[in-house]
Amino acid sequence: MPAVKSVAWGHRAVLRAKVRDRLRNHPGVTRFLRGDLTAVDALLGDDQRTRVTFPVVLVQPGFSASTLSPQLGSILASANDYLVRANFNPLRVIGSK
């Protein structure tokens, strides 16, 4: 499930490396709207003790709570549990109705 794969982005070092990689491999295309790489390092440095939380939102057009099968409900509950145990915010699901 894509929501569970998001856990990899919750690690400061992974996120910092991805920002650096995009700046190096896409010069002139990738830019900061605010701040710079020094600010990213300050915010996401390993020495920071502030907890960084990331919301994970699953967008599924055509999905509605009224048609939720027990099997799908179990999968979503498992994904939510996995995210919460990995220090993410609870899973949000957005459907059509």
Predicted confidence at residue 92, as pLDDT, reads 92
Q: How many CB atoms lie within 10 A of CB 56?
A: 22
For the chain, which ranges sit under pLDDT 70?
1, 48, 50-51, 97
Q: 30 — phi, psi (to 5°)?
A: -90, 130
Running DSSP on this structure, what letter comes out for residue 58? E
Q: How many CB atoms lie within 10 A of CB 15?
A: 17
Question: Taking the complete model, does pTM exceed 0.85, yes or no?
Answer: no
Domain boundaries, the chain: 2-95
Predicted confidence at residue 97, as pLDDT, reads 67
Distance CA 79, CA 84 (A): 9
Predicted confidence at residue 79, as pLDDT, reads 92
Contact between residue 58 and residue 33 where contact means Cβ atoms under 8 Å apart: no
